[in-house]
């Protein structure tokens, strides 16, 4: 379905079409918003509207994979950055798990983000100019790599960041091979069409905890069962350099990784400039800008 976005966005105070962080269970919301907001022309995005994601094999060439792998290793080892709030360290191991706002920290990644083969994907799907809502690199170690539980990114971005509608996409660019066995992303194809309200009110500074381990804003066992039977579960596997472009409301998760094969990726979130943030829908305060940017300047080449 192609849908021309002409409505004005709902202001705070109007009915919230995506209610969440509730004190009692609420029915699932059938998404009225489209998945593809623009005209899909690229063959590699042909399944995006139906599945809520597309796999882009070889988005980075092997030599680029090497260069960016070197860059993110350098960042992880940069002791000057260690104390930075944007460095998320895993509780048990004291290892770097993620580095946020990496497109501001690394000039090499800043350049990549602006390339048409990258940002063009987001513009095509979102049908407008776009900006970076969030960027990070993720490091999932082998042997004892922790996964993350089922969730919709949009649920969090709506509740905690004030993102009005699911008109955002994530691009996960694999810098390592993704096998079925090393904790690769699991996605439920089509699940972007169902918004799952979650229980529990959001505590202040929730993001400090939730970036390490999700506790609030996760669907119930019943929700996951319903969605898994309706949509199924597939996995994003592929060689280093492959990427997954996925809708902000796709239900996804990752198992732990006990293989010796570590995984790392560059993770970019593009939001439409017609979907800029208002105040959080279900949280006492905004999250920091390195998690949810309020610089809505469109990306230029």
Site track 128-147 with a second copy (rule: CB under 8 A), x = hit = --------------xx---x
CB of 222 to a second copy, least distance (A): 9
DSSP secondary structure letter of residue 191: G
- Of 35 and 191, nearer to a second copy (C-beta) is 191
Site track 251-290 with a second copy (rule: CB under 8 A), x = hit = --x-xxxxxxx-----------------------------
Residue 150 near a second copy by CB under 8 A: yes
Residue 42 near a second copy by CB under 8 A: no
DSSP secondary structure letter of residue 290: T
Residue written as token pair 């202040």 = 204
Q: Which residues 223-242 are close enough to bind a second copy by CB under 8 A? A: 224-225, 228-229, 233, 235
Residue 213 near a second copy by CB under 8 A: no
Residues 6 or more apart whose Cβ sits within 8 Å of residue 247: 35, 48, 52, 53, 154, 166, 169, 192
Write out the DSSP string of 197-232: --BSPPPTTHHHHHTTS--SS---HHHHHHHHHHH-
- Of 235 and 276, nearer to a second copy (C-beta) is 235
- Of 64 and 177, nearer to a second copy (C-beta) is 177
What DSSP element (H or E) covers 103?
helix 102-105
CB count, 10 Å around CB of 133? 27
**Residue 91, phi then psi, degrees to nearest 5:** -50, -60
Q: Which residues 170-209 are close enough to bind a second copy by CB under 8 A? A: 179-181, 183, 186
**Which residues contact a second copy (rule: CB under 8 A)?**
142-143, 147, 149-150, 179-181, 183, 186, 221, 224-225, 228-229, 233, 235, 253, 255-261
């Amino acid at each position: 379905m192609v849908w021309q976005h002409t409505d004005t966005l709902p202001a705070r105070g109007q009915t919230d079409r995506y209610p969440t962080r509730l004190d009692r269970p609420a029915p699932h919301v059938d998404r009225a918003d489209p998945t593809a907001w623009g005209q899909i022309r690229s063959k590699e995005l042909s399944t995006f509207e139906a599945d809520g994601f597309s796999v882009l094999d070889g988005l980075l060439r092997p030599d680029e994979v090497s260069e960016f792998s070197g860059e993110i290793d350098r960042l992880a080892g940069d002791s000057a950055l260690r104390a930075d709030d944007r460095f998320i360290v895993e509780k048990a191991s004291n290892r770097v798990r993620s580095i946020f706002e990496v497109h501001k920290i690394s000039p090499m990644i800043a350049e990549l983000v602006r390339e048409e083969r990258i940002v063009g994907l987001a513009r095509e799907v979102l049908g407008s100019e776009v900006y970076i809502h969030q960027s990070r690199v993720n490091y999932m170690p082998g042997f004892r790599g922790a996964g993350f539980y089922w969730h919709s990114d949009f649920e969090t971005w709506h509740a905690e960041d004030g993102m009005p509608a699911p008109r955002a996409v994530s691009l996960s660019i694999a810098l390592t091979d993704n096998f079925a066995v090393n904790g690769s992303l699991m996605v439920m194809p089509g699940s972007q069409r169902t918004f799952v309200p979650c229980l529990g009110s959001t505590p202040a500074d929730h993001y400090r905890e939730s970036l390490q381990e999700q506790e609030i804003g996760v669907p119930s066992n019943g929700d996951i069962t319903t969605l898994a039977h309706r949509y199924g579960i597939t996995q994003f596997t592929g060689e280093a350099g492959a990427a997954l472009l996925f809708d902000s409301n796709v239900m996804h998760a990752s198992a732990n990784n006990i293989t010796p094969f570590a995984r790392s990726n560059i993770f970019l979130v593009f939001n439409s400039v017609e979907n800029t943030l208002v105040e959080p829908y279900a949280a006492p305060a905004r999250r920091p800008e390195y998690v949810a940017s309020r610089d809505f300047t469109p990306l230029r080449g």
